[in-house]
Amino acid sequence: MPSRADHTDPLNILLLHCHDLGRFVGAAGVETVQTPAIDALAADGVQFTDAFCTAPQCSPSRASLFTGRYPHATGVMGLTHKGWDLRAEEEHLASLLRDAGYYTALTGIHHESKRVPDAEIADQLSFDHVDTLGGTHYDRRAELVADATIDILTERAADPAHPFYLQAGLLEPHRLQEPQPGDAMGFTGGYIDSDKSLGVTIPGYLQDDDGTRTEMAELQGAVRYADQAIGRILETLKNTGLAERTIVVFTTDHGLALPGAKGTLRDSGLETVLIWRAPALNWTGGRTVLGLVSNVDVVPTLLEAVGTDIPDAIHGRSLTAALSGQTWEPRHAIAGELTFHDFYDPQRCIRTDRHKLIVHFDRCSSHAQRSTQSWRPRSTLIDQRLAEAPPPIELFDLHTDPLELTNLAGDPEHSATLDRLRAMLREWMVSTDDPLLNGPVASPRTPMPARSCSPTDRPPHRRGESTLRPPNVLYLMSDQHTSTVLGCAGDPVAETPNLDRLAASGAQLTDVYCPSPICVPSRMSMLSGRHPHRNHVWTNDHPLPGSIATWPQALGAAGYRTRLVGRLHSIGTDQLLGFSERTVGDHSPNHPGGKLSDLGVLMGTAGPTRVSVDRSGPGRHPYQQHDTDVTISAMESLREFGARRRAGDDQPFALSVGYMLPHQPYVADPEDYARFEGKVGAAPIQVRPDHPHHQRWREQTAITDVCEEEAIRARTAFYALTYRMDVMIGQVLDTLEEEGLTQDTIVVYTSDHGDHLGNRELWWKQTFYDESAKVPCLASWPGRIPAGTVHRAPAGGVDLTATVLAATGAPALPNADGRSLLGLLTGQAPEDVPDTVYSEYCTDDGAIQRMVRCGRYKLAYYDGQPVQLFDLEADPHEVHDLSDDPAQAGTLAELTALVLDGWDPARVRAEIEEMHADLDIRTTWAALTEPADSYRWRLVPQMSGLSGRSEPEGSR
C-alpha cells in the first residue's frame, strides 16, 4: 500500500461533483464560460489536466468515482433509474470512511445506486444523512443543493473534532426536462439564463451553426449557474473555518451532453475536470499535473490521505505523490467502458498518452445519445462519421487526430500498435473479470440475455440423430478475381500466400465457373443455388424475388447463427437475403436509380469503360478502404464467436465475408504497386476474337486502342490489389486460428467472376472465356477434406451452394440446380461430379447468351449470332473455334441441345423487356424519392486518388 500522508488531526472531505461537465471550465482553457469559483479553486489547488472517467454515462461513472472500481465490477453497467444497482458486497466511499470514524452526508444528486427513498440510500451506502431534495429538476437545482450543503457545513463546524465526508452533487449542466423548440431538450430548464456575454466556444466536433451556438450559450449559462452554487459552498467552507482542514475535490461524471461526446468512448465523452485542494497537505499553489489518471483513483487517494487502509479490491491507485509535488508515475493507460444506456451497446476502450483502441462487441451505434435518448440536440456534428455505426475495432492516433475521425485499425503500419493495445485491453478485461468475456450481458429488466439494437432470435438446433456438432462456415468471396492469378494456380508473379495456405490445407478446384460473368446475377445464383434464368435475375438491376430460399436461410433453419460482413450486391429492399445479421454494407446504392457513390478522381473507372484502363496505376483505391473495414468486422465477429464458444455456447455460425477487391479501378496502394512493378508483363493471350459480339463490345467500351503501357499498368495494379486482398484474408484466417475455431470450420473461398486483364484485348468480365467465367475455388475442412488435393473436374458456383449445405447437414434448397461436391472433396465419392456446368449473360440492350461446359468441350451460345465451340484440352486458351468443323458437328449438336434444354432465349428476352418496364418506374422512383439505404458503406471522393495524376475535365 502507498505510504500515508503525514498529518495528525483527521481531515474533512468535501467532494463536489456535477453532471455532464467534461472540462468545460475556465481553468481548463475555455475562455467564454464564466466559472470564477472553479477557477479560483484550481488557482489555489492542484488540477489534473488528463483526467478521465471510466464510463461516458452518469451512473456507471459515479459508481467508479465512489467505489474506486470499474463499472462492470460494481454491478452498475447502466443507469440506476433503469434497474441497475451496486452489488451488495460493494463498499461505497462513505462506508469506508464511516468505518474510520467519519460523519457521512450526501446532498443533491445521487446516481450511483438504485433510486430509493433517502433513508434506504443512507442505509445501503452508509450515510448518516441523505438529502436528495426529491421532486422535479427545479426542486433539485444547484442553488437548493448549495443551501442543503451549507446547512451541513455550518452544522459540522460546531463539531470540529469529528471529521466529516460530505458528498454534494449538482444536477447542472445536465440537459433538463423542459421541452425546447422542435422537441429539443436544452440546458436552461426555465430557470437558467443563457450566457454568450463573452462569446461561445464551439467544441471541435460540432459545426459552428445557429443551432450549436444556441445550445452552447445555454450550456455556458448552466455552467455559470452551477459555478455560482459551488462558489457559495466554498465560501461557507472558508467562513466556517473548515477550509484549512478539509480536502476539497471537484469533478464531474463524464463529458458534455452533446452529440459526439457523452455516450461515446471518445475523449470528448470520457474527459473530466479534476481539481483538488488540501492546505493541510500542501495540495495548493495552483499547480497542474500532467499524465493520465482515472476517476477510480479518487477513492484510494482520499483513503490514503486520511490514513485509512485501501482495500485490495479497489482498482484505482493513489495520487497523493502527484498531489504533493513528489515524483510519481502516471498511468500508462486508462480504460473506459459502456454497456447499457438506453439500449445494449457494449464497448470497451484503452487509451494511452497517444493512441486509443475502441472495441465494439455488438453492432449498435456507438453513440447512445441519439434520438433514442430523452433529449434531441440542436447542435450538429462536424463529421458524420461520428454519427454512423462504427466498425468493430477503432484505433486512433490522438496526437495527429484529436477528434478521433480516422480509424487506423486496418492500416498495416499501425498493426503493432493495434496488437499492443488489444493485448492491454484484454489484460484489463481479464484482470477485472469483465463479464463481456463470457458473452452478452443481461439487463436487470430483461430476463433473457441482453440483445443488440438489431435483435435476432436464436432458433433451436436441428441435428437429426447426429450427436456431432455441425461445422461452422466461413465463406470468403471476392469480386472479379481471375482464377489464374494465384500462387497455388501456378502464377509465378502472384503473391497470395494466405490463399495458398488455404489451398494447401484443403482442396483447390481449378475449373469452377460462375453462374454469370457479371456481379448480381452470379451472386444471387450462388445464394439460391439456381441458374440466373430460374431466379429471373439477369442484370445488375434485377432483385432476387423474396419467394426464393437462400443458403443463409437453410443454415438458419438448421440452427446456425448467420452473419454477413461486407459485399452482398443485392438490389432492392431486402439487404439481408436470409442472413440474420449484417455489418459493413455495400458502397453502391441499395436501389436501382439510387445515388451513386462519388469516386472523385476515379469516377467512371469502376465500370466497363475505357477510362478504367487509362486511369490506372498507383494511388488510393476506395474499395480497399471498404475491405479494410470488412476485415476488421470479420475478425471481431470471429472473436465474438470464439468467446461464445468458450462460454459454452455451441451454436454453430456461418460467416460470409464479402470483399470488393480486386475489382477495378485498377489502382493500388503505391507500396503494393511497387511490389509488382516491372514483374507483370503483357497479357499472355494476344489473339483478338473475331466474334461479332466481342468486336461490338470492344467498340462499345472504347478498348480498341489500349496500348501496352496502359495494359501493363492496369495489370500490375490488379496483381497488387489481389495481394492486398490476400493480406486481409490472412488476417481473417489468423483470427479463426487464434480463436481455436479452425478445426471446426469449413472455409470456402471463391469469387463472383473473373477479369480478362487484357487477354484477347478484352478487359473486365462479360464473356464466357475462362478468364472471365472461371473463378478461383478453395475449400478447407480439417479432418474431412484431405490437405493439398487438386480437382480438375468442371463445376459451377451453384454446386458450391449445395456443397456447403451438405457439409453442414442443413436442408437442401428444394428447387436448386446445384449438385454437392462433398463426395469429391472428401474423397468418399470422387466420381460424383456434375455432368454439365452452365453460365448465362444477358443485358438490357439485347444480349441473350448462355454457356455450357461438358467434359472437355465448351459451347458459347449467342442468340441471333454464331455460336463458339472450344476443345479445352487441345486448346486451353480458346483461340480455335470449332463450330464450323464438320468433325465436331455431333458435339456441336449435343451441346446446343444441352444449352437450350429448359432455357428459351425468346422467353428470356421477353421477360427482360417486361421487367425493364417495371425497372423504369423503380429507377425513377429511387432517383426522385431517395429511399434510405438500409445497409450502405459510406464512400467519399477523398478515398480515391491517382498518384501523380489530376482529375480529368468532366470526370465528375
CA end-to-end distance (rounded Å), the chain? 66
Residue 652 per-residue DSSP state: -
Report angle CA 360, 366, 372 to the nearest 5 degrees.
Answer: 135
Check residues 376 and 895 and name the one with the higher pLDDT.
Answer: 895
> What span, in angstroms and rounded, lies between the C-alpha atoms of 108 and 142?
8
Cell of 599: 469516386
Cβ-Cβ contacts under 8 Å for 740 (sequence gap 6 or more): 642, 645
Nearest to 167 by CA among 81, 103, 80: 103
Superfamily of domain 12-425: Alkaline Phosphatase, subunit A (3.40.720.10)
Cβ-Cβ contacts under 8 Å for 312 (sequence gap 6 or more): none
Asked if 738 and 641 touch (Cβ cutoff 8 Å), the reply is no
> What span, in angstroms and rounded, lies between the C-alpha atoms of 222 and 577?
50
In this structure, the number of other CB atoms found within 10 A of the CB of residue 370 comes to: 17
Q: Is the pLDDT of residue 716 over 70?
A: yes
- pLDDT band per the 50, 70, 90 thresholds, residue 878: very high
**Crossing angle, helix 142-157 and helix 210-239, to 10 degrees?**
10
Asked if 796 and 839 touch (Cβ cutoff 8 Å), the reply is yes
Helices and strands: H and E segment counts in the chain: 25, 32
**Crossing angle, helix 36-44 and helix 210-239, to 10 degrees?**
60
Phi-psi region of 464 (alpha: psi -120 to 50; beta: other; left: phi over 0): left
For the domain covering 472-833, report its CATH number: 3.40.720.10
The whole-angstrom distance between residue 500's C-alpha and the CA centroid of its chain comes to 28
Q: Give me the amino acid identity at 747.
A: V
> What span, in angstroms and rounded, lies between the C-alpha atoms of 737 and 724?
20
Q: Is the pLDDT of residue 809 over 50?
A: yes
Model pTM greater than 0.75? no
Would you call the peptide bond into 662 cis, given omega within 30 degrees of 0 as the criterion? Answer: yes
The whole-angstrom distance between residue 443's C-alpha and the CA centroid of its chain comes to 23
Q: Is the pLDDT of residue 181 over 50?
A: no
Residue with cell string 465457373: 513
What is the torsion angle, in degrees rounded to the nearest 10, for the CA atoms of residue 564, residue 566, residue 568 and residue 572?
A: 100
What is the torsion angle, in degrees rounded to the nearest 10, for the CA atoms of residue 156, residue 159, residue 162 and residue 168?
A: 0
Q: Is the pLDDT of residue 450 over 50?
A: no
Cβ-Cβ contacts under 8 Å for 833 (sequence gap 6 or more): 793, 794, 795, 819, 821, 824
Residue with cell string 466461413: 474
Report angle CA 149, 154, 159 to the nearest 5 degrees.
Answer: 120
Residue 432: how many CA atoms within 13 Å on its side-chain side?
26
Cell of 47: 488540477
Cell of 724: 492486398
Beta strand segments in 593-710, E: 617-620, 653-662, 667-668
Alpha helix (H) residue ranges in 132-264? 142-157, 210-239
Phi/psi for 861 (5° steps) reads -105, 130
Pairing type for strands 103-108 and 129-131 reads parallel
- Find the mean pLDDT for residues 76-100: 93
At residue 384, the pLDDT reads: 67
Least confident of 367-371, 483-487, 539-543: 367-371
Residue with cell string 510519481: 328
Distances in whole angstroms, Cα of residue 407 to Cα of each of 62, 398, 583:
30, 11, 16
> What span, in angstroms and rounded, lies between the C-alpha atoms of 625 and 121?
52
At residue 116, the pLDDT reads: 87
Of all residues in the chain, what percent carry a pLDDT higher than 70?
Answer: 92
Average pLDDT, the chain: 90
> What span, in angstroms and rounded, lies between the C-alpha atoms of 309 and 695?
87
The whole-angstrom distance between residue 613's C-alpha and the CA centroid of its chain comes to 33
At residue 541, the pLDDT reads: 87
Q: Give me the amino acid identity at 561.
A: R
Kindly state the helix (H) or strand (E) to which residue 728 belongs, with its residue range: helix 708-738
Render 839-880 in DSSP notation, one character per residue. Answer: EEEE-TTS-EEEEEEETTEEEEEETTS--EEEETTT-TT---
- Find the mean pLDDT for residues 17-37: 96
> What span, in angstroms and rounded, lies between the C-alpha atoms of 698 and 296?
68
At residue 135, the pLDDT reads: 66
> What span, in angstroms and rounded, lies between the C-alpha atoms of 325 and 927?
66
pLDDT in tens, 590-628: 888 888 889 999 999 999 999 999 999 999 999 998 999
> What span, in angstroms and rounded, lies between the C-alpha atoms of 499 and 490?
13
At residue 563, the pLDDT reads: 97
> What span, in angstroms and rounded, lies between the C-alpha atoms of 715 and 708?
10
At residue 293, the pLDDT reads: 97
> What span, in angstroms and rounded, lies between the C-alpha atoms of 853 and 373?
59
Let me know if 232 is exposed, middle or buried by CB neighbors in 10 A (0-12, 13-18, 19+).
Answer: middle
> What span, in angstroms and rounded, lies between the C-alpha atoms of 953 and 956?
8
> What span, in angstroms and rounded, lies between the C-alpha atoms of 857 and 867?
13
- pLDDT band per the 50, 70, 90 thresholds, residue 8: low
Cell of 7: 498529518
> What span, in angstroms and rounded, lies between the C-alpha atoms of 266 and 273?
16
- Find the mean pLDDT for residues 99-110: 96
Distances in whole angstroms, Cα of residue 8 to Cα of each of 4, 241, 898:
11, 18, 100
Cβ-Cβ contacts under 8 Å for 544 (sequence gap 6 or more): 524, 527, 528, 535, 537, 550, 570, 572, 574, 577
At 7 the three-state DSSP class reads coil
Asked if 30 and 264 touch (Cβ cutoff 8 Å), the reply is no
Nearest to 525 by CA among 842, 823, 745: 842
Asked if 184 and 150 touch (Cβ cutoff 8 Å), the reply is no
Domain with CATH 3.40.720.10 in the chain: 12-425, 472-833
In this structure, the number of other CB atoms found within 10 A of the CB of residue 658 comes to: 25
Residue with cell string 477485472: 432
Question: How many residues comprise the chain?
Answer: 956
Q: Is the pLDDT of residue 915 over 60?
A: yes
Distances in whole angstroms, Cα of residue 6 to Cα of each of 13, 47, 163, 320:
16, 21, 17, 11
**Cβ-count burial 555-588 (b if 16+ within 10 Å, e if not):** bbebbbbbbbbbbbbbbbebbbbbbbbbbbbbbb
pLDDT in tens, 332-363: 999 999 998 767 789 999 999 999 999 988 64
Report angle CA 500, 801, 891 to the nearest 5 degrees.
Answer: 90
- pLDDT band per the 50, 70, 90 thresholds, residue 374: very low
At residue 454, the pLDDT reads: 32
Kindly state the helix (H) or strand (E) to which residue 801 belongs, with its residue range: helix 797-808
At residue 829, the pLDDT reads: 79
pLDDT in tens, 812-830: 998 899 999 999 999 887 7
